[in-house]
């Protein structure tokens, strides 16, 4: 027997699978990112003393939190006063309450520096509405990871800032707006892509980041499995059904038509936004939100493939919304899969940061 582990909320869960079963484990997660701390020092070649500094932190995964802390610590070591520093914190992947709760804990010493996009107004700049803290700062440093999303794929940094609420929706009309804004604001980027750290002005590194992210987080598969197991990324990414559901679309190509996708996602904070919940129970897709778009794609997928969950969401909700089963453990879900496809079934195990293509 071999144990396979999955992220589940703030902990991990496992499943035992006989060595006689054909199992393929795929992962593009880089849990131990090593970066040269000189990256942090090099940022300061661009930073003059006594200037107002904005760190624009897009919380995409837990990997960049240590990088952010190192950056702030370097500012402090060099004598940058707190009143000169703003931490512009956001995430378009999780809801605002969970973001505030999470960052309030992991960035406790810097709470007084944190600004959220919904707490301030935007002003017009070069044809785009931009949050005031970005405009008022003289140095602007973007910190994040670039990871795939089951609806949006690999987003430009401009689109990430727009979805996070720092930039107005007018940016989406023409990408030239973003390129102009990026250059005029002299945005500096510190971006984690897989096991690499990119740093420099965004006009120099953004395209490289996106191409490298696609190369490192996209896997081409040959054979389709009967059973596929995938986690939701753990807390806070699997905090709600809405925030984790898009992952089904990332991995759906890895299982054959008629096969089973098992999503392991705790969802300790419930279903998600009111807009998502309304769509979930009415099967109406009129609202234009990422959660609703993900739900619609999953509903379309269910005409060809099966879906089951390991989650705290009530089973009655899963049956009504997805006509799907819910289980308390991964072992129970796998047993259910073997009953459908036999113990000779091909099992594929994937982490939630991987995009599978044929």
Q: Where in the chain is the domain with CATH 3.40.50.11440?
A: 38-193
Residue 236: asked if its preceding bond is cis (omega within 30°), the reply is yes
What is the block-wise mean pLDDT of the chain (358 residues), using blocks of 10 residues?
92 94 90 61 62 90 83 78 86 92 85 89 88 92 94 92 87 73 90 88 92 95 95 94 96 96 97 94 86 94 96 95 95 96 93 92
In the chain, residues under CATH classification 3.90.226.30 are 2-30+218-357
Q: How far is CA 316 from CA 33, 156, 247, 313, in A?
A: 40, 38, 22, 9
Query: Which tokens is 312 given?
Result: 């705290």
* pTM, rounded to two decimals: 0.90
**Residue 28 to residues 63, 196, 220, 355, Cα–Cα distance (Å):** 13, 13, 12, 9
Helix (H) / strand (E) containing 99: helix 96-106
Question: Which residues lie across from 8 on neighbouring strands?
Answer: 11
User: What CATH code would you report for 38-193?
Assistant: 3.40.50.11440
**pLDDT attached to residue 153:** 94
**Homologous superfamily of domain range 2-30+218-357:** LarA, C-terminal domain (3.90.226.30)
pLDDT for 44 equals: 65
């Amino acid at each position: 027997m071999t144990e396979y582990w999955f992220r589940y909320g703030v902990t991990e869960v496992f499943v035992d699978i006989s060595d006689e079963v054909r199992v393929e484990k795929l992962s593009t997660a880089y849990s131990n990112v090593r970066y040269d701390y000189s990256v942090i020092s090099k940022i300061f070649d661009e930073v003059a003393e006594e200037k107002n500094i904005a760190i624009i932190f897009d919380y995409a995964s837990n990997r960049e939190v240590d990088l952010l802390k190192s950056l702030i610590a370097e500012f402090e070591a060099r004598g940058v006063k707190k009143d000169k520093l703003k931490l512009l914190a956001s995430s378009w992947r999780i809801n605002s309450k969970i973001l505030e709760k999470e960052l309030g804990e992991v960035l406790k010493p810097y709470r007084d520096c944190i600004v959220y996009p919904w707490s301030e107004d935007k002003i017009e700049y070069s044809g785009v509405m931009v949050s005031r803290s970005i405009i008022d700062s003289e140095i602007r440093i973007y910190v994040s990871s670039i990871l795939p999303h089951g609806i949006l794929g690999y987003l430009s940094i401009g689109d990430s800032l727009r979805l996070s609420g720092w930039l107005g929706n007018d940016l989406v009309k023409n990408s030239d707006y973003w390129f102009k804004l990026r250059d005029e604001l002299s945005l500096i980027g510190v971006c984690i892509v897989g096991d690499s750290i990119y740093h420099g002005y965004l006009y120099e590194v953004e395209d490289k980041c996106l191409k490298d992210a696609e190369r490192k987080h996209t896997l081409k598969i040959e054979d389709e499995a009967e059973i596929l197991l995938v986690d939701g990324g753990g807390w806070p990414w699997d905090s709600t059904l809405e925030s984790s559901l898009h992952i089904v679309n990332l991995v759906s190509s890895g299982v054959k038509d008629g096969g089973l996708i098992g999503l392991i996602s705790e969802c300790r904070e419930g279903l998600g936004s009111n807009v998502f919940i309304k769509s979930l129970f009415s099967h109406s897709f009129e609202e234009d939100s990422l959660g609703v778009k993900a739900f619609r794609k999953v509903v379309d997928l269910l005409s060809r493939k099966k879906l089951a969950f390991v989650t705290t969401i009530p089973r009655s909700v899963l049956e009504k919304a997805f006509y799907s089963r819910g289980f308390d453990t991964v072992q129970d879900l796998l047993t259910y899969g073997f009953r459908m496809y036999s113990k000779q079934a091909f099992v594929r195990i994937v982490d939630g940061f991987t995009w599978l293509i044929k």
